[in-house]
Amino acid sequence: LAERLRPGDVAVDATVGNGNDTLVLARLVSPGGRVYGFDIQEAALAKASDMISRHGLLDVVTLIHRGHETMCEYFTEKVDAIVFNLGYLPGGDHNITTNPATTVRALENGLGLLNPGGVICIVVYTGHQGGKEEQRQLEAYLGGLDKKEFCVGKLDFLNRGSAPFLIIIEKKATLEGWQ
Ligand SMILES: C[S@@+](CC[C@H](N)C(=O)[O-])C[C@H]1O[C@@H](n2cnc3c(N)ncnc32)[C@H](O)[C@@H]1O
Protein backbone atom coordinates (compact mmCIF):
# COMPACT_ATOMS: atom_id res chain seq x y z
CA LEU A 1 0.00 0.00 0.00
CA ALA A 2 2.87 2.36 0.74
CA GLU A 3 4.12 1.78 -2.80
CA ARG A 4 0.69 2.36 -4.35
CA LEU A 5 -1.11 5.05 -2.38
CA ARG A 6 -0.33 8.70 -2.98
CA PRO A 7 -1.46 11.96 -1.32
CA GLY A 8 -4.92 12.79 -2.65
CA ASP A 9 -5.96 9.15 -3.11
CA VAL A 10 -9.14 7.60 -1.71
CA ALA A 11 -8.98 4.47 0.48
CA VAL A 12 -11.42 2.35 2.48
CA ASP A 13 -10.79 0.55 5.76
CA ALA A 14 -13.58 -2.04 5.67
CA THR A 15 -12.93 -3.21 9.26
CA VAL A 16 -11.78 -0.24 11.37
CA GLY A 17 -11.64 -1.98 14.80
CA ASN A 18 -8.97 -0.20 16.84
CA GLY A 19 -8.14 2.03 13.88
CA ASN A 20 -4.56 0.96 13.24
CA ASP A 21 -5.07 0.29 9.54
CA THR A 22 -7.21 3.43 9.19
CA LEU A 23 -4.33 5.48 10.57
CA VAL A 24 -1.84 3.92 8.11
CA LEU A 25 -4.20 4.69 5.21
CA ALA A 26 -4.81 8.26 6.46
CA ARG A 27 -1.06 8.91 6.58
CA LEU A 28 -0.58 7.56 3.04
CA VAL A 29 -3.36 9.60 1.38
CA SER A 30 -2.58 12.87 3.22
CA PRO A 31 -2.71 15.62 2.33
CA GLY A 32 -5.74 15.94 0.14
CA GLY A 33 -7.04 12.37 0.25
CA ARG A 34 -9.85 10.61 2.11
CA VAL A 35 -10.30 7.38 4.05
CA TYR A 36 -13.76 5.89 4.57
CA GLY A 37 -13.84 3.49 7.53
CA PHE A 38 -16.57 0.99 8.40
CA ASP A 39 -17.28 -1.04 11.52
CA ILE A 40 -20.38 -2.50 13.14
CA GLN A 41 -19.07 -1.79 16.67
CA GLU A 42 -19.72 1.78 17.76
CA ALA A 43 -17.36 1.55 20.75
CA ALA A 44 -14.51 0.50 18.46
CA LEU A 45 -15.18 3.44 16.15
CA ALA A 46 -15.19 5.87 19.11
CA LYS A 47 -11.83 4.54 20.29
CA ALA A 48 -10.39 4.62 16.77
CA SER A 49 -11.66 8.18 16.32
CA ASP A 50 -9.87 9.32 19.52
CA MET A 51 -6.65 7.64 18.46
CA ILE A 52 -6.70 9.09 14.92
CA SER A 53 -7.56 12.51 16.36
CA ARG A 54 -4.50 12.33 18.65
CA HIS A 55 -2.43 11.84 15.47
CA GLY A 56 -4.03 14.93 13.91
CA LEU A 57 -5.58 13.04 11.00
CA LEU A 58 -9.29 12.90 11.83
CA ASP A 59 -10.11 15.48 9.13
CA VAL A 60 -8.94 12.97 6.51
CA VAL A 61 -11.15 10.16 7.83
CA THR A 62 -14.91 9.50 7.62
CA LEU A 63 -15.95 6.79 10.10
CA ILE A 64 -19.22 5.03 9.36
CA HIS A 65 -21.10 2.85 11.86
CA ARG A 66 -22.41 0.36 9.30
CA GLY A 67 -21.34 -2.97 7.84
CA HIS A 68 -18.81 -2.83 4.98
CA GLU A 69 -21.37 -4.54 2.72
CA THR A 70 -23.16 -1.16 2.56
CA MET A 71 -20.11 0.80 1.37
CA CYS A 72 -21.69 1.75 -1.98
CA GLU A 73 -24.32 3.80 -0.11
CA TYR A 74 -21.81 6.16 1.49
CA PHE A 75 -19.62 7.60 -1.24
CA THR A 76 -19.54 7.91 -4.98
CA GLU A 77 -15.81 8.32 -5.66
CA LYS A 78 -13.76 5.49 -7.13
CA VAL A 79 -11.17 4.21 -4.65
CA ASP A 80 -7.49 3.32 -4.88
CA ALA A 81 -7.24 0.78 -2.04
CA ILE A 82 -9.48 -1.18 0.30
CA VAL A 83 -8.26 -3.03 3.39
CA PHE A 84 -10.09 -5.87 5.17
CA ASN A 85 -8.75 -7.26 8.45
CA LEU A 86 -11.15 -10.13 9.12
CA GLY A 87 -12.10 -12.01 12.30
CA TYR A 88 -12.75 -10.47 15.72
CA LEU A 89 -11.51 -7.28 17.33
CA PRO A 90 -8.35 -7.87 19.39
CA GLY A 91 -9.20 -6.96 22.99
CA GLY A 92 -12.94 -6.97 22.14
CA ASP A 93 -15.80 -9.48 22.07
CA HIS A 94 -14.51 -12.58 20.28
CA ASN A 95 -18.07 -13.56 19.34
CA ILE A 96 -18.42 -10.51 17.06
CA THR A 97 -16.61 -11.55 13.92
CA THR A 98 -16.79 -10.83 10.23
CA ASN A 99 -19.22 -13.03 8.36
CA PRO A 100 -18.56 -14.86 5.05
CA ALA A 101 -21.75 -13.68 3.31
CA THR A 102 -21.28 -10.00 4.16
CA THR A 103 -17.54 -10.16 3.50
CA VAL A 104 -18.17 -11.51 -0.02
CA ARG A 105 -20.90 -8.92 -0.62
CA ALA A 106 -18.52 -6.14 0.47
CA LEU A 107 -15.88 -7.48 -1.90
CA GLU A 108 -18.33 -7.54 -4.79
CA ASN A 109 -19.11 -3.87 -4.08
CA GLY A 110 -15.46 -3.00 -3.46
CA LEU A 111 -14.27 -4.50 -6.75
CA GLY A 112 -16.79 -2.31 -8.57
CA LEU A 113 -15.52 0.81 -6.77
CA LEU A 114 -11.84 0.15 -7.43
CA ASN A 115 -9.88 2.35 -9.85
CA PRO A 116 -7.75 0.59 -12.49
CA GLY A 117 -4.43 -0.18 -10.77
CA GLY A 118 -6.17 -0.17 -7.37
CA VAL A 119 -5.65 -2.89 -4.75
CA ILE A 120 -7.66 -4.73 -2.12
CA CYS A 121 -5.73 -6.33 0.76
CA ILE A 122 -7.49 -8.90 2.95
CA VAL A 123 -5.92 -10.33 6.10
CA VAL A 124 -7.65 -13.66 6.78
CA TYR A 125 -7.67 -15.42 10.16
CA THR A 126 -8.78 -19.04 10.36
CA GLY A 127 -8.15 -19.85 14.05
CA HIS A 128 -11.56 -18.75 15.39
CA GLN A 129 -14.91 -20.46 14.93
CA GLY A 130 -16.21 -19.69 11.45
CA GLY A 131 -12.77 -18.61 10.21
CA LYS A 132 -12.21 -21.65 8.00
CA GLU A 133 -15.66 -21.30 6.43
CA GLU A 134 -14.95 -17.63 5.73
CA GLN A 135 -11.68 -18.65 4.04
CA ARG A 136 -13.53 -21.26 1.96
CA GLN A 137 -16.21 -18.85 0.72
CA LEU A 138 -13.72 -16.08 0.10
CA GLU A 139 -11.36 -18.26 -1.92
CA ALA A 140 -14.25 -19.77 -3.90
CA TYR A 141 -15.46 -16.29 -4.82
CA LEU A 142 -12.05 -14.75 -5.56
CA GLY A 143 -10.88 -17.84 -7.47
CA GLY A 144 -13.70 -17.19 -9.94
CA LEU A 145 -12.72 -13.60 -10.79
CA ASP A 146 -11.87 -12.90 -14.42
CA LYS A 147 -8.08 -13.09 -14.77
CA LYS A 148 -8.23 -10.55 -17.60
CA GLU A 149 -9.50 -7.95 -15.14
CA PHE A 150 -8.06 -8.93 -11.75
CA CYS A 151 -4.84 -10.44 -10.46
CA VAL A 152 -5.51 -12.32 -7.20
CA GLY A 153 -2.60 -13.56 -5.07
CA LYS A 154 -2.16 -15.16 -1.66
CA LEU A 155 0.77 -14.77 0.74
CA ASP A 156 0.90 -17.44 3.43
CA PHE A 157 3.39 -18.58 6.07
CA LEU A 158 4.82 -22.08 5.73
CA ASN A 159 6.21 -22.22 9.28
CA ARG A 160 3.63 -20.52 11.49
CA GLY A 161 0.68 -22.85 12.18
CA SER A 162 -2.64 -21.01 12.00
CA ALA A 163 -1.16 -17.54 11.42
CA PRO A 164 -3.22 -15.13 9.32
CA PHE A 165 -2.55 -14.95 5.61
CA LEU A 166 -2.85 -12.14 3.11
CA ILE A 167 -4.87 -11.97 -0.09
CA ILE A 168 -4.02 -9.19 -2.53
CA ILE A 169 -6.32 -8.30 -5.43
CA GLU A 170 -5.11 -5.89 -8.08
CA LYS A 171 -7.47 -4.41 -10.66
CA LYS A 172 -5.42 -4.35 -13.82
CA ALA A 173 -4.47 -0.87 -14.97
CA THR A 174 -4.94 -1.76 -18.65
CA LEU A 175 -5.97 -4.94 -20.39
CA GLU A 176 -2.87 -4.77 -22.57
CA GLY A 177 0.31 -6.43 -21.42
CA TRP A 178 -1.43 -9.02 -19.24
CA GLN A 179 -1.57 -12.71 -20.01
C1 LIG B 1 -9.67 -7.94 13.18
S2 LIG B 1 -10.73 -6.63 13.64
C3 LIG B 1 -10.08 -5.24 12.76
C4 LIG B 1 -8.79 -4.71 13.34
C5 LIG B 1 -8.48 -3.31 12.88
N6 LIG B 1 -8.18 -3.23 11.47
C7 LIG B 1 -7.41 -2.65 13.70
O8 LIG B 1 -6.51 -2.04 13.15
O9 LIG B 1 -7.51 -2.74 14.90
C10 LIG B 1 -12.22 -6.96 12.73
C11 LIG B 1 -13.29 -5.89 12.86
O12 LIG B 1 -14.29 -6.14 11.88
C13 LIG B 1 -15.51 -5.65 12.39
N14 LIG B 1 -16.63 -6.17 11.60
C15 LIG B 1 -17.28 -7.35 11.69
N16 LIG B 1 -18.24 -7.43 10.75
C17 LIG B 1 -18.20 -6.27 10.05
C18 LIG B 1 -18.94 -5.74 8.95
N19 LIG B 1 -19.92 -6.43 8.38
N20 LIG B 1 -18.61 -4.53 8.50
C21 LIG B 1 -17.61 -3.80 9.06
N22 LIG B 1 -16.87 -4.25 10.11
C23 LIG B 1 -17.17 -5.47 10.59
C24 LIG B 1 -15.48 -6.08 13.85
O25 LIG B 1 -16.38 -5.31 14.61
C26 LIG B 1 -14.00 -5.85 14.21
O27 LIG B 1 -13.82 -4.59 14.81
pLDDT of 3 > 60? The answer is: yes
CA 34 to chain centre: 14
Q: Which residues, in sequence order, are CB contacts of 45 under 8 Å at separation 6+?
A: 16, 37, 39, 63, 65
Q: Which atom of ligand 1 lies closest to the CA of 22?
A: 8
Q: What is the mean pLDDT of residues 67-92?
A: 96
pLDDT of 176 > 70? The answer is: no
Q: Residue 179: its pLDDT value, please?
A: 47
Using the mean position of ligand 1's atoms as its centre, give its distance from the Cα of residue 17 in Å. Answer: 5
| Dist. CA 42–CA 48, nearest whole Å | 10
| pLDDT one-digit tens code per residue, 24-72 | 999 999 999 999 999 999 999 999 999 999 999 999 999 999 999 999 9
| pLDDT one-digit tens code per residue, 124-150 | 999 888 999 999 999 999 999 999 999
pLDDT of 5 > 90? The answer is: yes
Q: Residue 136: its pLDDT value, please?
A: 97
Dihedral sign for Cα atoms in the order 137, 143, 146, 152: positive
Using the mean position of ligand 1's atoms as its centre, give its distance from the Cα of residue 88 in Å. Answer: 6
Residue from 1, 12, 16 whose mutation best tests the ligand 1 pocket (most atoms within 8 A of CB): 16
| Dist. CA 94–CA 169, nearest whole Å | 27
| Mean per-residue pLDDT of the chain | 95
Using the mean position of ligand 1's atoms as its centre, give its distance from the Cα of residue 171 in Å. Answer: 24
Q: How confident is the model at residue 2 (pLDDT cuts 50, 70, 90)?
A: very high
Q: Which residues of 146-160 are buried (b: 16+ CB within 10 A; e: fewer)?
A: eeeeeebeeeeeeee
Degrees to nearest 5, angle at CA 160 with 68 and 101: 25
Q: Which atom of ligand 1 lies closest to the CA of 68?
A: 20
pLDDT of 164 > 80? The answer is: yes
Q: Residue 173: its pLDDT value, please?
A: 87
Angle between helix 42-54 and 20-29 (nearest 10): 40
Count of CB atoms situated within 10 Å of the CB of 110: 23
Q: What percent of the chain has pLDDT over 70?
A: 97
| Dist. CA 163–CA 171, nearest whole Å | 26
Q: What percent of the chain has pLDDT over 90?
A: 91
| 25 membership: H or E segment, kind and range | helix 20-29
Using the mean position of ligand 1's atoms as its centre, give its distance from the Cα of residue 109 in Å. Answer: 17
Q: Residue 175: its pLDDT value, please?
A: 57
Q: What is the mean pLDDT of residues 90-99?
A: 94
Q: Is the CB of 62 under 6 A from ligand 1?
A: no
